Structure 1
Amino acid sequence: MKAVIHNGKTGLQGLSFQEVPSKKPGYGEVKVKLKSAGLNHRDLFLMKNKSERDPHVILGSDGAGIIEEVGEGVKNVAIQTEVIIFPTLNWDLKENVPAVPEILGGPSDGTLAEYVNIPSQNAIKKPSYLSWEEAGVLPLSALTAYRALFTKAQLKKGEHLLIPGIGSGVATYAMFMAKAIGATVSVTSRSEEKRNRALQLGADYAFDSYSNWDEQLQEKRADVVLDSIGPALFSEYFRHVKPNGRIVSFGASSGDDLCFPVRSLFFPQINILGTSMGSCEEFHDMLAFIEKHKLRPVIDRTYPLEKVCEAYTRMQEGRQFGNIGIIME
């Protein structure tokens, strides 16, 4: 089968498109013929930290396709079922949080290939209203947004959500999900084009990430801040979140090390919550939520499998708004 391999060299230079053996599904596994897949920033982080000593891996956590073969012991799904892939491995219930979530596409082989073998419980019936392209980009970022907003932040109707750095898949899903329950959404971006796009898609307010937030937000303090940026903006949040508000962190695009006055945390009793990926229970809940509200991914662009390096370059340069999809045929 054709697949995108990362061979251990750092960054995009380690990518190659090549023919690799197709494996039969093991016990409890199914073999999915992929119709589409999606890219995630997680892939870039994995490639950045690879060395030549690391084993080769097929990247990709998101995907959708048709079950072509089932392994021994599989009884919950059948051949020819159209499925969307739940990308987190060995995490069933939302409260049973693993120390580090295992994700398809590193260290196990992922979805940037013509076929992928996955545990049968990770093959979930595809929502019929979604196209293959939409289903292929949905899983990881929509799951991350759902857990961040509803399991961790407990966002409610009428509350105010602030999303710094609109444009990623997680951020756009979070905007749609929050609006679906009747929350107010403010977003930031350095890009005027992205700010205008967010307003067109339903954001209530949009402003430059490096403008004067006091002038922009005035008295509109946030109940919840959804952070994927980290140090570059984190200290700013404390002045613009309500007392007893929640800051939910799921990424660190500007680095790992935070510095802020601890009094700004304990006097207003701010809750800092960490989250990453999500459980199978939450994946089913997320699919039910998007079906109820008929939410669809924003697809920035799609690329054929052999041009995945171009797709990752676009993501690395931060030019996308929404998800970048990969089409297998």
Structure 2
Amino acid sequence: MSEILTKGWAAYDEAANFKPITFKRAALKDDEILLKTLYCGICHSDIHAARNEWGVTKYPIVPGHEIVGEVVQVGKNVKEFEIGNKAGIGCLINSCGECEACLNSNEQFCSKGAVWTYNSVDYFNDNEITKGGYSNYIKVHKDFAINIPENAPLELIAPLFCAGITTYSPLKFSKVSKGMDVAIAGFGGLGVMAFKYAKAMGANVSVIARNDTKKQIALELGASNYYNDINNVDKRFDVIISTIPSKYDVLAYARVLKYGGEMAIVGLPPIDEKVSISLNALIRVSHKKIYGSLIGGIKETKEMLEFSLKHEIYPEVKIISAEDINKAYDDLLNNSSSFRYVIKFDE
């Protein structure tokens, strides 16, 4: 098989001004499938990466890890997919498959290093730097593609492969169940998803924001309480999911946990917004747990998709064309949107 000519949209420097790019992907391997991209969500992580706010970006960068596409080619070892099937790709396209993490369905923690969907070294394809879903074609190892049922709402499903699994995974890890008191800190695209999942799991869900701009949305979704300032919180929670993507006082949130409560941090701030925690202050927040959560593995991602479809849990989306990526970035940087921008790729 020959190399795959691909067209997409790339950022060429930290200004993150997206322009068209044409590049070649390595030839399809026997265990891989090739998707024609139909939809790709814009994640805030894309913005951080495009602007090199984590200090690891390799330019030109083609972001995008919330992908839904149509299978247009399969390797000879692929039995799980046929041409014409719909499939999804999240943050991972491969891993070693042999380490303890991989064998326990936690490929995101692969000891050799997961192959991320973009801006990652693909050691299965001559160490090329991966390019993501802001492109018309993308290939993936068959074990990292997610089957999408017929008649599923494709444009709503695309963001689930990052925003969905990022918030679903810590709720499952903390064993959220009926009657528990859960708070969502930060109520943007991730926060709304965390809210919907916690609600579907039977929890009493509150929102802790930093202003009142999202209050009406939260109340319409069934929030038990809405707080516009962490210092005004008068309740204690079993679990807090923090989706805040900027610097904040972590211990202020931990203090409103119940005894033995857990706080999951999923929001990723820029690397220069460093947060420090006083050990003396941490000790006084006794017998409460703070942990970080990245995404889930492929097994859990499949579970998340099934749960989402069953309960009709989808993000609020705004469909755009690829030509509007720069406008979308500008809006996300200057406004705290509760919806997910989704790029629709036409012929």
Which of the five TM-score ranges fits, normalised by the shorter chain? 0.7 to 0.9
Structure 2 match to 1:70: 74
Structure 1 residue corresponding to 2:145, chosen from 123, 126, 129: 123
1:56 aligns with 2:81: no
User: Alpha-carbon deviation of 1:207?
Assistant: 2.0
Structure 2 match to 1:17: 20
Structure 1 match to 2:264: 248
| Separation (CA, whole Å) in 2 of partners of 1:263 and 1:121 | 44
| Separation (CA, whole Å) in 1 of partners of 2:313 and 2:57 | 42
| Separation (CA, whole Å) in 1 of partners of 2:177 and 2:35 | 37
1:31 aligns with 2:48: no
Structure 1 match to 2:195: 175
| Separation (CA, whole Å) in 1 of partners of 2:258 and 2:276 | 20
Deviations 1:71-95 (A, max 9, x none): 2322221111111224323256345
SS in 2 for 1:58: coil
TM-score for the superposition, normalised by structure 2: 0.84
Structure 2 match to 1:200: 220
| Separation (CA, whole Å) in 2 of partners of 1:53 and 1:139 | 22
| Separation (CA, whole Å) in 2 of partners of 1:65 and 1:95 | 24
Report the RMSD for the aligned CA atoms in angstroms: 2.5
| Separation (CA, whole Å) in 1 of partners of 2:56 and 2:105 | 36
1:155 aligns with 2:176: yes
- Structure 1 counterpart of 2:287, one-letter code: Q
TM-score for the superposition, normalised by structure 1: 0.88
Deviations 1:128-171 (A, max 9, x none): 453221122221110111111112x2212111111111112x21
For the Cα contact (< 8 Å) 2:182–2:238, is it kept in 1?
A: yes
User: Alpha-carbon deviation of 1:57?
Assistant: 3.0
For the Cα contact (< 8 Å) 2:251–2:282, is it kept in 1?
A: no
- Structure 2 unmatched runs, 5+: 1-5, 96-101, 121-129
| Separation (CA, whole Å) in 1 of partners of 2:336 and 2:281 | 37
| Separation (CA, whole Å) in 2 of partners of 1:292 and 1:157 | 17
| Separation (CA, whole Å) in 1 of partners of 2:330 and 2:195 | 25
Q: 1:288 to 1:43 in 2, by over 3 A?
A: same
User: Alpha-carbon deviation of 1:266?
Assistant: 5.9
Structure 1 match to 2:116: 103
Structure 1 residue corresponding to 2:296, chosen from 273, 278, 289: 278
Structure 2 match to 1:143: 165
| Separation (CA, whole Å) in 2 of partners of 1:128 and 1:246 | 38
User: Alpha-carbon deviation of 1:63?
Assistant: 0.8
1:43 aligns with 2:51: no
1:235 aligns with 2:254: no
Structure 2 match to 1:189: 209
Structure 2 match to 1:324: 341
- Structure 1 unmatched runs, 5+: none
Instruction: Name which of structure 1's ranges 93-102 and 158-167 shifts more when overlaid on structure 2.
Output: 93-102
Q: 1:268-307 maps to which residues of 2 (within 5 A)? A: 268-299=286-317, 301-307=318-324
Q: 1:188 to 1:267 in 2, by over 3 A?
A: closer
- Structure 2 counterpart of 1:203, one-letter code: A
For the Cα contact (< 8 Å) 1:87–1:122, is it kept in 2?
A: no
For the Cα contact (< 8 Å) 1:31–1:69, is it kept in 2?
A: yes
Q: 1:122 to 1:238 in 2, by over 3 A?
A: closer
- Structure 1 counterpart of 2:75, one-letter code: G
SS in 1 for 2:40: strand
Q: 1:262 to 1:223 in 2, by over 3 A?
A: farther
Higher normalized contact order (CA 8 Å, seq sep 6+, divided by chain length): 1
Q: How many positions carry a matched residue from both structures? A: 319
